[in-house]
């Protein structure tokens, strides 16, 4: 079964994404911050990570560094965040090897489902190559 890891410090967001992903037939694993995520990720080996950008503790760049150290930088990550970036910054984020999409909160559940499905498909990799 396809495994999705949901990393968000907001319990409401974690639970709503969990319900949505399970409705779509995915197996879900939760983490409430970056530390918990990096502690679990090797064991879980998720197919996709839904990652909040701004959480207490490890920053996004620190999380990406930890993944690189563990040679897990090919892991697909979709950022889900309240943070608004400039167009140039979005391009910079998307150039990171792990990050395949960027969804802003508040999100539309139908849109999230579609984008998760797309991120999991080979379509994204083809677009990036």
Binding of other proteins by 95 (CB under 8 A): no
**Distance between CA atoms of 23 and 30, rounded to whole angstroms?**
16
21 three-state secondary structure: helix
Binding of other proteins by 128 (CB under 8 A): no
Burial class (CB in 10 A: 0-12, 13-18, 19+), 100: buried
Binding of other proteins by 85 (CB under 8 A): yes
Binding of other proteins by 19 (CB under 8 A): no
Q: How far is the CB of 83 from other proteins (least distance, A)?
A: 5
How far from chain centre, in Å, is Cα 112? 11
Q: How far is the CB of 92 from other proteins (least distance, A)?
A: 7
Cis before residue 106, ω within 30 degrees of 0?
yes
Binding of other proteins by 93 (CB under 8 A): yes
Binding of other proteins by 10 (CB under 8 A): yes
Binding of other proteins by 91 (CB under 8 A): no
First to last CA, the chain: 26
Q: Under rule CB under 8 A, how many of the chain's residues touch other proteins? A: 26
Binding of other proteins by 61 (CB under 8 A): yes
């Amino acid at each position: 079964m396809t495994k999705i890891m949901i990393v968000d410090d907001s319990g409401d967001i974690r639970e709503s994404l969990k319900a949505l992903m399970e409705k779509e037939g995915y197996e879900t694993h939760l983490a409430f911050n970056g530390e918990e995520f990096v502690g679990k990720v090797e064991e879980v080996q998720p197919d996709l990570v839904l990652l909040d950008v701004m959480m207490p503790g490890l920053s996004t760049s620190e999380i990406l560094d930890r993944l690189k150290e563990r040679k897990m930088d090919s892991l697909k990550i979709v950022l889900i965040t309240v943070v608004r970036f400039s167009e140039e910054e979005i391009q910079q984020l998307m150039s990171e090897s792990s990050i395949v999409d960027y969804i802003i909160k508040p999100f539309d559940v139908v849109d999230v489902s579609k984008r998760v499905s797309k991120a999991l498909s080979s379509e994204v990799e083809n677009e990036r190559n």
